[in-house]
Amino acid sequence: MTDQLAGRTAVVTGGSGGIGSAICARFVREGARVIALDLAGDPSSDDVATVDITDEAAVTGFFTELADRWSALDILVNAAGIEIEKTIEETTLEEWNSVFAVNVTGTFLTSRHALPLLRRSSGASIVNFGSYDGFIADPSLAAYCASKGAVHALTRAMACDHGPEGIRVNAVCPGYIDTPMLEGFFAGGDVESLQDAIRDVHPTRTWGTPDDVANLVTWLASDEARYASGQLWVLDGGLTAQVQQMHPRS
């Protein structure tokens, strides 16, 4: 490793999940000091904090305590997210609000309350998590698609507002990534056929891994990305670069 993040401090929401844990592990290998926020966190660990990012009091309390431990925060990664596989007709208001609470409001709250510490950094970076579903739509993911579109717009707004303070803001927008969400999709039918279908629809003929995402997030958090801000970085194996393929009828 190159120690791209040597001496940096980082907070990663959803840090116990597949992608979040890969980001935390990569940051540590690159020399950063990292705290993962997650509802499944271990309260006895200094590296993991159990925080409900939809609860403003909990978020405020976490960053107040962090300010007593760290002089500054260099990196905030908002990786926590949930999805519900339903159309708008099938989605209840409670489910809609739940998706937006985690994906959008959680991103807003952690970013808002991290700002005082981020301003103390010599060059801070916020990395939000959008999705290719914020550009195009998968069937039966209405609330998720809408929430990721909101994160995309919020990312641009934050970059404009806080760039003059030395805080860069970008969003990573993954496509199909090898996580429990993807495994759940495969479990819905003939696993081998579904895996082949997913591979074939990608120009790269493969789906991504959490480490692929961690690679991009690490670069965006580093000084090498000092001129990168306000952008939506799609990581999808070329999926959204192509038109839907036509197959002749038999």
Give catalytic residues, as residue numbers.
Answer: 144
Alpha-carbon separation of residue 56 from 12, 102, 232 (angstroms): 17, 12, 26
Whether 38 contacts 24, CB under 8 Å: no
112: alpha, beta or left? (left if phi > 0; alpha if psi -120 to 50): alpha
Packing angle, helices 142-162 and 93-100, rounded to 10: 30
Encoded amino acid at 116, one letter? P
The conformation of residue 137, written as its DSSP 8-state character, comes to -
CA 57 to CA 51: how far, in whole Å?
A: 10
Q: Which pair of tokens denotes residue 17?
A: 């999940």
Percentages helix, strand, coil for the chain, rounded to the nearest 5? Answer: 45, 15, 40
Half-sphere exposure of 71 (CA within 13 A, CB side): 4
Burial class (CB within 10 angstroms; exposed 0-12, middle 13-18, buried 19+) of 182: middle
